[in-house]
């Protein structure tokens, strides 16, 4: 079970879009919030209070609050994925491709969005901006080996070496 706490009464609770959804929707919580964004030249812009929507300039990155703190069970993490429709139709992608939220992170969930298009895009309060997935973590160790790993298959190389 994944529990959540709302930091803002206007936050949209996470929910599954359908009974068979693998991931739950995460929405923007913008009302009365200050938004941090970065230009394509990496300049930080700290905006004033948002009323109910923000505009993301072309090729800028923005930290969008969700108004949620996730209570992730020990032994799990939450993976944050982009919404495919936003990526295809508007060019909104996750700036870090996939977010990983560890079980010991207990601050507000922020979504790093990048406007990958060449036009301004508006995000409104309550818009679904990403999707989350509760993932069981494996318990493993990392150790150095002193001999090069042996070839396990007939694969030869990477970066497209197995074909198109």
CATH number for the domain harbouring residue 121: 2.70.40.10
Helix (H) / strand (E) element for 84: namely: helix 84-90
Give the ranges where 125-164 is alpha helix by DSSP (H).
none
| 76, pLDDT greater than 70 | yes
pLDDT category of residue 66 using cuts at 50, 70 and 90: very high
Q: Establish if 50 belongs to a structural domain.
A: yes
Q: Establish if 121 belongs to a structural domain.
A: yes
| CA distances to 97, 105, 144, 161 from 137, in Å | 19, 15, 21, 30
> pLDDT tens-digit profile of 84-129?
999 999 999 999 999 999 999 999 999 999 999 999 999 999 999 9
Q: Establish if 155 belongs to a structural domain.
A: no
The HSE-up count of residue 159 (CA atoms within 13 Å, CB side) is: 0
| 81, pLDDT greater than 90 | yes
Rounded to an integer, what distance in angstroms lies between the CA atom of residue 131 and that of residue 101? 12
The number of folded domains in the chain is 1
The predicted pLDDT at position 153 comes to 83
- Cβ atoms of 44 and 101 within 8 Å: the answer is no
- Cβ atoms of 114 and 57 within 8 Å: the answer is no
Helix (H, G, I), strand (E, B) or coil at 86: helix
| 47, pLDDT greater than 90 | no
Q: Establish if 142 belongs to a structural domain.
A: no
Q: Establish if 158 belongs to a structural domain.
A: no
Rounded to an integer, what distance in angstroms lies between the CA atom of residue 68 and that of residue 22? 20
The predicted pLDDT at position 46 comes to 85
> pLDDT tens-digit profile of 123-152?
999 999 999 999 999 999 999 999 998 888
| 3, pLDDT greater than 70 | yes
The average pLDDT across 9-22 equals 95
Percentage of the chain modeled with pLDDT above 70: 96
Rounded to an integer, what distance in angstroms lies between the CA atom of residue 111 and that of residue 55? 15
Domain limits for position 111: 3-136
The predicted pLDDT at position 156 comes to 74
């Amino acid at each position: 079970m994944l529990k959540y706490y709302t930091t803002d009464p206007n936050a949209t609770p996470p929910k599954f879009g359908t009974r068979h959804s693998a991931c739950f929707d995460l929405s923007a919580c913008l009302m009365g919030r200050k938004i941090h964004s970065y230009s394509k030249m990496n300049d930080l812009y700290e905006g004033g209070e948002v009323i109910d929507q923000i505009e993301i300039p072309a090729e800028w990155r923005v930290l969008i609050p969700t108004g949620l703190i996730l209570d992730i069970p020990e032994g799990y993490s939450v993976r944050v994925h982009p919404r495919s429709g936003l990526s295809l139709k508007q060019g909104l992608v996750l700036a870090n491709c996939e977010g990983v939220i560890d079980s010991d992170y207990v601050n507000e969930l922020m979504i790093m969005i990048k406007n990958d298009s060449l036009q301004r895009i508006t995000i409104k309060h309550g818009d679904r901006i990403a999707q989350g997935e509760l993932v069981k973590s494996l318990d493993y160790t990392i150790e150095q080996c002193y001999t090069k790993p042996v070839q396990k298959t007939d694969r030869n190389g990477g970066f497209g070496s197995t074909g198109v």
